[in-house]
Amino acid sequence: MSAQGDCEFLVKRARELVSEDPWAAKAWLITARTLYPSDFNIQYEMYIIERNAERTSSAGRLLYDIFISFPEQPVVWREITVITAALRSDSQDKQTQFLRGLFETLPGSVQCQMLLKATEQCFNTLEKAEMLLLLLKRFPESVVQHGVSLGESLLEAENVENLDTPVNCFRKLFVCDVLPLIMNNLDMRLPASLLYKYMHKAAEFYISYVTRGPSADGQIQGTSLTGSQEVGGLKSPGVGRGGQRFVIDGLSEKSSVVCEPWERLLDIVAVVGARCDWQGDKGSRNYTELLQRVRELFRYLPSLEAEPMSRCCGQIVICSALVLFRSAYLYMSAVQPSLFQGHSALDSGPWILLEDLSSVYSEVELERSAGKHAHKKRKLTDGREKTMSSDDEEGLGKGRGRHILVNKSDFPGWAETLESFRTARESWDLLHSHDALETEFNKLCTAWKTESWLWFRIFLTDMIIYQGQYRKALSSLAQLAQLASFQPVQTQISAAASNLENHRALIQQASCHYALGEYRLACEKLLEVVGNLVPPTQEPIKSTEEAGRARTKPRKGNDLRLLPCTSKAILPFCLQLMLACFKLRAFTDGRDDLALGHVVVLLQHDWPQGETLFLKAVDKICQQGCFQYENFFNYVTNIDMLEEFAYLRTTEGGRVQLELLPNQGMLIKNPSPTLGVELNTLLLPGAQKADRHHTVTRGITKGVKEDFRLAMERQVSRCGENLLTVLHRFCINEKVILIQSLP
Amino acid sequence: MSDIRHSLLRRDPLSAAKEVLYHMDISLGSALQSSGAGAPVLDKSTIDLVEEFIFHVPKDRSVPPKRMSCVQELQLLEIMCSYFQEQSKDAVRQVIFSALFSLQGNKADESRMAMLGKLVSMAIAVCRVPILECAATWLQRSHSAWCVRLARVLVDDYCTLVPSSFSTLQNICSASPRFCCQLITAVTALYDMSSEDMTPPPSLLEMVVGWVTEDPRLLLLTLINMPLGTSLPLGGLDVTPLMGLLRWCVKAPLAYQRGRKLSLTNGHGEQEKGVGCEELYSKLHLSVLQVFLMLQVHLTEQNLLGRLAVLQLESVAVLMEEVSRLVEELNPLHAASHIQLALDRLAQALQVAMATGALLCTREDLRTLCSRLPHNNLLQLVMSGPVQSTHGAPYQSNFYPHIHPPRSSPLPPHNTHPALSTHNTHPALSPHAAHPALSPHRPLTPHATHSSLSPHAFHPAAMTFPYRPIR
């Protein structure tokens, strides 16, 4: 018998026995091993028995022996590949856990060797990196040797692959896994430039990670559920439910998760700060402190010489930029959570930053605005758009200390959100308070392509609006629309979502135009929005209490308001804004019955908030002695107003000539589909009658009197109609007239 | 002294016995303190008192022996139990235990044995570790005939008499591993498989296998704790139970087959016996092999490799004879597989024992010994030894040790091993009268052909790596 034959015989016997009597099988192999201690197959068979029985420690001991004695056996290498794959895997199945446990039983030196050799066998950069990471994590002393080269190879791989986002597998491994090892290893002495480079890479990654858009999963879910023609920015139930899954391409779901990104980023900044001897750096505990410190540092900036100044700039720019992006993100995630992954659309819909119009009903405001308007109008008639720049400068002054109003009960965490908005603005201001800082910051923005960050653009727009630079805001909004159309994520977003996005921009544009005194443009934008809104079936109840509050608090008139982007909130705003636009025109010295009529219609909303203004309008009508507004009976259903107008016609009321019946010609030509058949037929006979008498006289003929009475009676019966539906119809039907009646 | 005796004579037997214990404690305690290193020796008069008042050996014909009642005896045992439990000094405890129960070769020995059996049985029942430790030492120093008697008492009490109390015996393994080790050696000496009565009861077997698989190191405990150069008493138990257990494993397939044959001829339907035991023997056999591997580490560390024969060649020879006799008894046609199993186990044990230095002999020796055994492939392979040409020189072990230092024994080392100067010369009552009593130490030159190998191969799960990865 040859040795080979002996060994085969022994292993064969063991194999035969292993299922029915594993102890006997092992006894055979122990014997075999004492006979042929250097035979691989005997030891491998021993290992396989223990491994299949998942006996961790004994399998580990045998694997150790095999690894030491037979390092060149291909079977051993296959086994090591399987084990190291298990180490990298997230899987929790029994076999994987066993293999991980098996690896743990090996002595450190063997683990180290195994991982190194397994790394050598990897040709895929990602796999290789993961393998090396296993090594570095276990054996910190190996970080000095392999840390930076691993990091650089990951960054290079990212470059080579030409990936379009920093949130990719290479960067993730670099930032979250490799970098902490390098940074926290005190034996590593890295030049400041490298530390800065790494910190920037980390910051770009973390910011992009946090602000990443909803993933494909979420979108699919979203579209399928919002297919039911949800318009008007209503919260569609089920859009992107909380548990959105996110996977970085090339990584598993588990390793795609980045915990507490802002905190991790802060950790890295703290290490870099310490390593680069930052001024006044005592290890930043939070972002507020970070900003506080560079603000102090900024005061010394002008007194510094070139070299320390550039160092100082570096510190100020990165710190304030991080605070800026973080605060802007926090603000945006509250104001428009749907932009980001993981924020359920159910949290809260988008909120729009707009001019506060709660003072629209007040007379005080009227005087001020009228004056301003007169000034504006004069310039407008000159046809010089350029003059608007003066308004922007004016706005700049206004940009300080403006209030942002918000309905606190609808917006939990409003205080924090507004605080974030403020901090972001302050960081921005700091970054633009010195040329050197601005240059440095712009470099950063270019490198990170912040231009393409939709969310940041939206924030910037809000900031510009806050600063009162409406002209700039308008161009930014236009840019935004362009940007949104380029965003792959945005294009995929459901009809409802993009509609919503559209509304947001339009309403803000309207608000800006209004603030610039461009009422016609404001109304154009507004009416575009209103057309898409669905009037709430029930009138809001709390509007009165809100109104009550607003009345007690006189406004300076340059406040802003955060409004939820819902039909319920937007429609009233649109009505107020239109009122604000027409109010000025209606109460000018000249006579503009159409504008006055619109105002009367619009004043119905939020009644009796507008009572004072209505009485002023009535005064004006009385002064004029006559008033012509043919849409009156279509849209005025307020009983108080109807009474007042009925009274005006009486002797006591001053026998005012009221021409309020609809222009029959127009009605016949355009039977309004929204009015419904009933109302059209109701109105038409009356109209025909009026037509008959039209040529006779415009005065108080018997027939007209009768028509008016009938119309009034009919109108009284309409009092119960949903006012918002009526006003919504008003906006849609009279769109052309409304726009035309503004300069 | 006679004063004490006279006062004792006036007392009732229980209080007299108590008084003697008290007296021993005082005199030995002070002797131990004054003598320092030297072991205190009990004077003759005290021994007489012990024999007279505790074991009730009549001293003179004039005084009628005062026997204790059963209740009194129980009370005395209780007193002893608590005495040993409460005696904090190891040395005093050992000396007193030895003074009470060391066999003297006189009339009192029967009483001693009777009382010792009861005391140890009680100590097991109430888990009195100090007594078990003393009993372990006693088992180490006494002639195997007495040890076997103690073993029988315990097996009777716990396996036969009250089988439900069996778990109590099972639990003492963790309480006093040393005692367990000696007990296993004693029961393997008791049950030598020479007849059906001498096959271990299944419950006993199960218990032993349970202990051994839980921690195979248990089997080496006595050996490991024995100071170097200690000479064993003549006719005492083996230092390890390895030989006894090996006998069980090798002979079991044949013995049960024989039992089956007998029961068939007798018409008893006892076929089931031994079926469940097959697995137990297989496990036990593997453990024995694993213990050989561990033994190699110990021998190497102590520089005893090739100098200490843990398995006696003579005992092996006897085992082979027994096997060949059993084989002859059985019909080879019907029992072929059982015979092969027995020979496989024998061959495996021989090979591993030789390779690990537990058995010191040449393959040449083996060939002579095995000449009467039927053919078996593995045995043939073991006798001829490995083919050297293709594999080159015998693989000299790469022990773990440089990377994994040997694990320190999880069991507390036991150092109270006073020099055994007194060999109890006893009438030869060896249960294995067939083989001559030999000195357990047979100094030999290291054997050239045995190859050592990593002792960790197939170690049981309880053995873990001493090193954890650095994190």
* B222-237 confidence digits (pLDDT tens): 888 887 767 777 788 8
Task: Of A653-667, B211-225, B376-390, give the range with the top mean pLDDT.
Answer: B211-225
Chain A residue closest in CA terms to B452: A34
pLDDT for B419:
37
Give the distance from residue B352's alpha carbon to the nearest chain A alpha carbon, in angstroms: 6
CA A473 to chain centre: 18
In a domain, A604, yes or no: yes
Low-confidence ranges of chain A (pLDDT < 70): 1, 215-245, 280-284, 342-349, 363-400, 483-501, 537-557, 662-705
Residue from B387, B388, B447, B456 whose CB has the most chain A CBs within 10 Å, to mutate: B387
In a domain, A254, yes or no: yes
Contacts A–B by Cβ distance under 8 A: 132
Confidence of residue B284 (pLDDT cuts 50, 70, 90): very high
Within 8 A of B378 by CB-CB distance, chain A residues are 13, 31
Indicate the Cα dihedral angle A374, A377, A381, A385, nearest 10°.
Answer: 140
Inspect the interface and report whether the beta carbons of B461 and A55 lie closer than 8 Å.
Answer: yes
pLDDT for A487:
56
What is the spatial distance between Cα B437 and Cα B429, in angstroms, rounded to a whole number? Answer: 11
Least CB–CB distance from B454: residue in A56, A65, A105: A65
Cβ–Cβ < 8 Å for B241, B184: yes
Least CB–CB distance from A26: residue in B355, B378, B458: B458
The sign of the dihedral angle between the CA atoms of A729, A733, A736, A737 is negative
Inspect the interface and report whether the beta carbons of A46 and B355 lie closer than 8 Å.
Answer: no
In a domain, B89, yes or no: no
- Window from A707-716, B199-208, B292-301, B451-460 with minimum mean pLDDT: B451-460
- Output the six-digit token pair for A469: 């630079």
Within 8 A of B461 by CB-CB distance, chain A residues are 55-58
Residue from A4, A30, A55 whose CB has the most chain B CBs within 10 Å, to mutate: A30
Within 8 A of B285 by CB-CB distance, chain A residues are 23-24, 27
What is the spatial distance between Cα A55 and Cα A57, in angstroms, rounded to a whole number? Answer: 6
Residue from B359, B391, B467 whose CB has the most chain A CBs within 10 Å, to mutate: B391
**Is any Cβ of chain A less than 8 angstroms from the Cβ of B377?**
yes
What is the spatial distance between Cα A424 and Cα A462, in angstroms, rounded to a whole number? Answer: 11
Inspect the interface and report whether the beta carbons of B351 and A35 lie closer than 8 Å.
Answer: yes
Of A541 and B322, the structure prediction assigns the larger pLDDT to B322
In a domain, A603, yes or no: yes
* CB within 8 Å of B332: residues ≥ 6 apart: B339, B374
In a domain, B427, yes or no: no
In a domain, A401, yes or no: no
pLDDT for A215:
62
Q: How many domains is chain A partitioned into structurally? A: 2
- Window from A566-570, B263-267, B382-386 with minimum mean pLDDT: B263-267
Residues 321-350 of B with CB under 8 A from A: 344-345, 347-348
**Is any Cβ of chain A less than 8 angstroms from the Cβ of B41?**
no
Q: Kindly tell me if the per-residue pLDDT of B426 is higher than 50.
A: no
In a domain, B300, yes or no: yes
Least CB–CB distance from B465: residue in A34, A39, A105: A105
Give the distance from residue B319's alpha carbon to the nearest chain A alpha carbon, in angstroms: 19
Give the distance from residue A331's alpha carbon to the nearest chain B alpha carbon, in angstroms: 40
pLDDT, chain B, mean: 75
Residue A693 sits in which domain range?
A: 588-743
β-partners of residue B359 are B311
CA B187 to chain centre: 7
Of B168 and B430, the structure prediction assigns the larger pLDDT to B168
Within 8 A of A13 by CB-CB distance, chain B residues are 378
In a domain, A683, yes or no: yes
Inspect the interface and report whether the beta carbons of A61 and B457 lie closer than 8 Å.
Answer: yes
In a domain, A269, yes or no: yes
Inspect the interface and report whether the beta carbons of A3 and B391 lie closer than 8 Å.
Answer: yes
Inspect the interface and report whether the beta carbons of A61 and B390 lie closer than 8 Å.
Answer: no
Residue from B350, B379, B390 whose CB has the most chain A CBs within 10 Å, to mutate: B390
pLDDT for B349:
93
Which helix (H) or strand (E) covers residue A696, if one does?
none
In a domain, B258, yes or no: yes
Phi then psi for residue A402, to 5 deg, are -80, 145
Of B271 and B416, the structure prediction assigns the larger pLDDT to B271
Residue B332 sits in which domain range?
A: 242-264+274-385
Which helix (H) or strand (E) covers residue B170, if one does?
helix B166-175
Q: What is the complex's ipTM, to 2 decimals?
A: 0.79
pLDDT for A497:
54
Q: pLDDT of B190-207, one tens digit each?
A: 998 888 778 888 888 888
- Window from A43-47, A505-509, B152-156, B465-469 with minimum mean pLDDT: B465-469
What is the spatial distance between Cα A271 and Cα B455, in angstroms, rounded to a whole number? Answer: 49
In a domain, B147, yes or no: no
Least CB–CB distance from A38: residue in B289, B391, B471: B391
- Output the six-digit token pair for A318: 């990165």
* CB within 8 Å of A189: residues ≥ 6 apart: none
In a domain, B257, yes or no: yes
Inspect the interface and report whether the beta carbons of B467 and A36 lie closer than 8 Å.
Answer: no
Confidence of residue B184 (pLDDT cuts 50, 70, 90): very high
What is the spatial distance between Cα A661 and Cα A593, in angstroms, rounded to a whole number? Answer: 14
Classify strands A351-355 and A657-659 as parallel, antiparallel or unpaired: unpaired
Chain B residue closest in CA terms to A27: B286
Give the distance from residue B396's alpha carbon to the nearest chain A alpha carbon, in angstroms: 8
Within 8 A of A9 by CB-CB distance, chain B residues are 377, 381
Of B431 and B249, the structure prediction assigns the larger pLDDT to B249
- Output the six-digit token pair for B378: 């593995």
Residues 280-319 of B with CB under 8 A from A: 282-283, 285-286, 289-290, 293
pTM for this model (two decimals): 0.59
Indicate the Cα dihedral angle B421, B423, B424, B428, nearest 10°.
Answer: 170
Residue from A12, A20, A35, A137 whose CB has the most chain B CBs within 10 Å, to mutate: A35
Inspect the interface and report whether the beta carbons of B289 and A46 lie closer than 8 Å.
Answer: no
Q: How many domains is chain B partitioned into structurally? A: 1
Map tokens 């959570």 to a residue: A337
pLDDT for B287:
93
Q: Kindly tell me if the per-residue pLDDT of B413 is higher than 50.
A: no
Q: Which residues of A671-681 are buried (b: 16+ CB within 10 A; e: fewer)?
A: ebeebeeeeee
Least CB–CB distance from A57: residue in B394, B461, B471: B461
Q: Kindly tell me if the per-residue pLDDT of B208 is higher than 60.
A: yes
pLDDT for A501:
65
Inspect the interface and report whether the beta carbons of B381 and A35 lie closer than 8 Å.
Answer: yes
What is the spatial distance between Cα A73 and Cα A241, in angstroms, rounded to a whole number? Answer: 52
Chain A residue closest in CA terms to B390: A3
pLDDT for A662:
65
Q: Taking residues B326-331, report their average pLDDT.
A: 83
Within 8 A of A62 by CB-CB distance, chain B residues are 457-458
In a domain, A533, yes or no: no
Chain B residue closest in CA terms to A2: B387
pLDDT for B40:
64
Inspect the interface and report whether the beta carbons of A3 and B351 lie closer than 8 Å.
Answer: no
β-partners of residue A627 are A658
Q: pLDDT of B79-137, one tens digit each?
A: 888 888 888 888 888 888 888 888 777 777 788 888 899 999 888 888 888 899 999 98
Chain B residue closest in CA terms to A38: B395
